[in-house]
Structure 1
Amino acid sequence: MTSPFKQALAWCRPDVSRPLTQAWLAALWMGLLANWPLWRQLQALPEVTGLRGLGFGLAMAGIVTASTGALLSLLAWPRVGRPLLALLLLAAAALAHFIGSYGIVFDPSMVVNMAQTDAHETRDLLSGRLLLSLALLGALPAWWLLRRPAAAAQRLGARLGGNAAGFVLGLAAAAVLAVGVFADLSSTMRNHKRLRYMITPLNAVYSLGAAASRGSAAPSGPPSVIGADARLLPRPPGSRPPLLLIVVGETARSMNFSLNGYARPTNPELATLPVLSLRDVTSCGTATAASLPCMFSPLGREAFLALKQPQENLLDVLQRAGLAVLWLDNQSGCKGLCDRVPHSPTTRLPPGAAPLPAGLCDGDECLDDALLHGLDARLAALDAERASRGVVLVMHQMGSHGPAYYKRSAPDQKPFQPECRSSSLQQCPREQVVNAYDNSLVATDRLLARSIAWLQTQQQRFDTGLLYASDHGESLGEGGLYLHGMPYAFAPREQTHVPMILWVPAGGALAASLKPGCLPALRDRPVSHDHFFHTALGWVGVQASVYRPDWDLLAGCRR
């Protein structure tokens, strides 16, 4: 006969073979443990202090756990429930690592960034701490869960009712707790918006759903045509066709350029050249997937974000006007910008070019100096008729892409020591992280200076010029944040303040058309990526209805 004590114990002990019980146990694990970056961030807020702050923190933990339990109740089905819960546990463990280590948030734009990340970038993010987080927070509970015995058979109606009850009770519990601390909750979420994107795994479920919804809503088919009337303005007799080299930087932040007032000599070679560095430039986004298409669009950031139909870009307009266009890529791709123009990775050399020097590439990942290799052969391989009208060459850098900043500079380009040689930036002293990052900027400085030197060799044939702009900035530990990709609405200035550099050589047709002394006045003028398309179009003398002279940085300086 069963004793009363054993009967009471049986009532208190949950049946872990039941899918609904497993779902709520997983919710408890993820809500309390996998959200450790959220609880750490919440604890650091100055307004969450004292007994009231403790009560709010406990209520917040209950809200997160109850909401997660409500969501997971919908997955509490035999055969499919446990594998799905195991995947969510692993995903929550990975998110906990990246949010806790780099201070990033997981929103729909981050989903797009992840989808466009190549194998090299993924490899740089792997670390022992990631594996430890996956093992302890993900694999361990998933292993325990998958080893539970199968639940006893249950009628469909009863299981459906139980899952629905779990969903409703979870939402009800979260709602009751939210009402109890509504004043603190609304104030905290309004003043610290990034917290809402740190709630794991609810942030992943929402962001994946939002990204998928936007993707399915996006119209298919070819992009709409822009600049159908594009044509080259007539050149004076005897003048040379333009050769504009556009260098698209990666993850460079303006405040670390010595040309813009940074105390360290991160631009030693450009400092000796007659370049114009604009000091107050704002990016279109905080990640390549957002900024790059926006930079090459004529619309400007606000109109581009509201765009429903994909459309052509700067490269299409330049090619339609009759110019030769070439995109060289040392990154993870052009995000669709170069699909309709000649393009090539740095590792694919044209006929007649010498092999890449030893040490320049590691497998198919190269230092940015590889962009300069074989440029004469690449130029010769372009359509001769188009090249006689002018050339626009685009170089897409690897630049300062993190977290492995130390990989972006050659051994002889590391003036700042010691540097962080780990992808786990939070494990290095911040001074070493900055050293590695600044060394990558010295490598960019060298690339730009050598690009100008190559352009000077082409001046007998072309009217040359260089336009450089980075796609977005980077956080280097300020406020506990690393890397980039924060939602634009509350991204720190470090991720949106980018460098832009112009080289207009004296003696060229463009320089002769500008008012003396006008260009330096642009140095501290507030500009943005909105000006990029129109400045490039005006630079090479292309006329089109999409061109806006008020967004052409050089238009106000022309005679």
Structure 2
Amino acid sequence: MLKNSIGITNFVLLMSVLMFLLFHLPFYRYVFGNIDYTGFHGILLIISLMLLMLLANAFALYLIFSLSRIVGKFLLGLFFMLNAVAVYFVMTYNVIIDESMIGNLLNTNYEESSSFFSFTLVLYVLILGIIPCIYIIKVRIVSVSWKRFLKTSSLALLFMLVLVFANASNWLWIDKNSKRLGGLAMPWSYTVNTSLFYIHKYQKNRKEILLPDATIADNEKSVVVLVIGESARSGNFSLYGYGKDTNPLLSKEDNLYHFNATSCATYTTAGVKCILEHTDSNQLYEILPNYLYRNDVEVVWRTTNWGEPPVHIKNYQRREDLKPGCTGPGCDYDEVLLTGLKEQILASTKNKILIVLHTSTSHGPTYSKKYPPQFEAFTPVCNSVELGNCSHEELINAYDNTILYTDFILSRIIENLKTLNGYKSTMIFVSDHGESLGEKNLYMHGMPMSLAPKEQYEVPFIVWVSDSSQKLKPETTLSQNHVFHSVLHFLNVQTPVYNEGMNIFE
């Protein structure tokens, strides 16, 4: 029988256990369905997730209730009510409470939301929400001294950190499944994702720092195709001296140049931002497509990826926009970005055109899923999302096949540009960041630049030009910011922000 008076430590532990039992069946159903729970690593992960779930909720409640009982009771009661509703929708509609779902919820009108009302929902709210709230309201919580508070908090935090680092071997699995796990963990799913929704909404609506107005200096028909690669590291391109022939098509192209380059960061959002801005900074300067579009250049953005700064142009096309006009098996891969590309260029009424293709070809951990079967030239390949379970050869082979596929896509773009009679054209390919493939026991990317290995920031910078008279400077190592100024030069867009020292063309 529950007591009318209880110490704060026992109370928050009791509430954490109650939330664990009432609201986390979908979470652990997903965990058990997606991990080998008969092996040591699986057992360790499951136990650790259970303990972390209990401790994280108890720790958060402990901090809140130590600061204010009234606020604590209000928030805890609110959590139980919202948890009940969230679990109802998860169990009934098999949804994930992620950021996009929060966006859908916040943009739902009354008529739509009322259609979800049911007797079962009432039962969920009554049993899982209202009944616990009655106890929360009535119980008297006994506080502890600040010395005891600091000791308990420190020990809880230390134990959670130990659990995190004890699962270093499982970080890849957690990273791969983070969206699902985060969308099923209560109350973190809706609290964190609601915060992220409003943060990202603010960022999208935040006013860019506009650059000075520009002018187009001539009427020569010119087109730039900027291909932003994903997780492509230069070390696995045969153009850069790699032992395997991963660039059989590009290596045969005339007027093709490649440069050593480094990325500004080891993750997509910062890498893409750096490619599109005139300088590497923490400010939100007007990015290249927005700037050129505002100054009367035809701009088209096509993407199978995400993570770019806000793009304010007319022709922004995602995979789902391009697939209806695409035919063949390549439509399920990054080839979809080439659908009707030549026709779209020829249909433009403007003389200056920028096409941005944002690919996802080499993003892990499912490298073997990023290319059509006919590009599986290097075998055997890693087919597991748990990269540590694959041999180094299998992992490298799967990744190398993505580079081989990238070679094909870039070659097709060049072939399309060659047929544009009357246009001066160029293709620029640069990756957002590199990728670790087991070197130093590191996988994928995202390490802080101060600690990151070269595999995560040495990226390809490949340029093709249609006219052999168009020479490129003999640069040594480029940065991603070279893209902005080189595109301005090629399209002959004159602006005070242009930096000749950052231009790759003579």
TM-score tier by shorter-chain length is 0.5 to 0.7
The Cα offsets for residues 221-252 of structure 1, whole Å up to 9 and x where unpaired, read as 54342232x112236xxxx4212111111111
* Distance in 2 (alpha carbons) for counterparts of 1:404 and 1:476: 12
The answer for the alignment partner of 2:217 in structure 1 is: 233
The answer for the alignment partner of 2:293 in structure 1 is: 319
* Distance in 2 (alpha carbons) for counterparts of 1:311 and 1:471: 18
1:297/1:533 contact within 8 Å kept: yes
1:70/1:171 contact within 8 Å kept: no
The answer for the alignment partner of 1:107 in structure 2 is: none
2:77/2:136 contact within 8 Å kept: no
SS in 1 for 2:415: helix
Deviation at 1:456, TM superposition (A): 1.0
* Distance in 2 (alpha carbons) for counterparts of 1:536 and 1:155: 64
1:408–1:423 distance in 2 versus 1, CA, 3 Å: same
2:99/2:197 contact within 8 Å kept: no
The answer for the alignment partner of 1:360 in structure 2 is: 330
* Distance in 1 (alpha carbons) for counterparts of 2:230 and 2:416: 21
Q: Amino acid of the residue matched to residue 223 of structure 1?
A: E
The answer for the alignment partner of 1:536 in structure 2 is: 487
Q: How does 1:32-431 map to 2 (within 5 A)?
A: 69-73=58-62, 74=64, 77=73, 79=77, 153=135, 158-159=140-141, 161-162=142-143, 165=144, 169-173=148-152, 220=205, 222-228=207-213, 230-234=214-218, 240-274=220-254, 275-279=256-260, 281-300=261-280, 303=281, 305=282, 307=283, 310-332=284-306, 334-337=308-311, 339-348=312-321, 355-361=325-331, 366-382=332-348, 384=349, 386=350, 389-431=351-393
Identity %: 26
2:238/2:246 contact within 8 Å kept: yes
Q: Amino acid of the residue matched to residue 249 of structure 1?
A: G
Q: Amino acid of the residue matched to residue 277 of structure 1?
A: H
1:340–1:411 distance in 2 versus 1, CA, 3 Å: same
1:399/1:408 contact within 8 Å kept: yes
1:17/1:151 contact within 8 Å kept: no
* Distance in 2 (alpha carbons) for counterparts of 1:216 and 1:170: 37
SS in 1 for 2:429: strand
* Distance in 1 (alpha carbons) for counterparts of 2:194 and 2:212: 35
Deviation at 1:175, TM superposition (A): 5.0
The Cα offsets for residues 304-326 of structure 1, whole Å up to 9 and x where unpaired, read as x1x2xx44211122234432221
The Cα offsets for residues 420-465 of structure 1, whole Å up to 9 and x where unpaired, read as 223332332232122111101100001111211111111x210111
SS in 1 for 2:356: strand
1:241/1:461 contact within 8 Å kept: yes
* Distance in 2 (alpha carbons) for counterparts of 1:219 and 1:444: 30
Deviation at 1:527, TM superposition (A): 2.0
1:415–1:82 distance in 2 versus 1, CA, 3 Å: same
Q: Amino acid of the residue matched to residue 436 of structure 2?
A: S
The answer for the alignment partner of 1:21 in structure 2 is: 13
1:253/1:497 contact within 8 Å kept: yes
Deviation at 1:483, TM superposition (A): 2.4
1:150–1:507 distance in 2 versus 1, CA, 3 Å: closer
* Distance in 2 (alpha carbons) for counterparts of 1:67 and 1:355: 48
Deviation at 1:356, TM superposition (A): 2.2
The answer for the alignment partner of 1:474 in structure 2 is: 435
SS in 2 for 1:400: coil
TM normalised by structure 2 equals 0.67
Match status 1:551 vs 2:502: yes
* Distance in 2 (alpha carbons) for counterparts of 1:282 and 1:157: 59
2:99/2:196 contact within 8 Å kept: no
Deviation at 1:408, TM superposition (A): 1.4
* Distance in 1 (alpha carbons) for counterparts of 2:496 and 2:100: 32
* Distance in 2 (alpha carbons) for counterparts of 1:173 and 1:19: 14
The answer for the alignment partner of 1:3 in structure 2 is: none
Deviation at 1:528, TM superposition (A): 1.3
SS in 2 for 1:391: strand
1:69/1:166 contact within 8 Å kept: no
2:17/2:54 contact within 8 Å kept: no
The answer for the alignment partner of 1:485 in structure 2 is: 446
The Cα offsets for residues 120-167 of structure 1, whole Å up to 9 and x where unpaired, read as xxxxxxxxxxxxxxxxxxxxxxxxxx89x96995777942x53xx398
Q: Amino acid of the residue matched to residue 472 of structure 1?
A: H
1:249–1:81 distance in 2 versus 1, CA, 3 Å: closer
1:17/1:150 contact within 8 Å kept: no
2:263/2:458 contact within 8 Å kept: yes
1:155–1:355 distance in 2 versus 1, CA, 3 Å: closer
1:392–1:234 distance in 2 versus 1, CA, 3 Å: same
SS in 2 for 1:276: strand
1:531–1:231 distance in 2 versus 1, CA, 3 Å: same
* Distance in 1 (alpha carbons) for counterparts of 2:397 and 2:339: 27
Deviation at 1:20, TM superposition (A): 2.3
* Distance in 1 (alpha carbons) for counterparts of 2:241 and 2:147: 58
TM normalised by structure 1 equals 0.61
SS in 1 for 2:481: helix
Deviation at 1:407, TM superposition (A): 1.7
Q: Amino acid of the residue matched to residue 430 of structure 2?
A: A
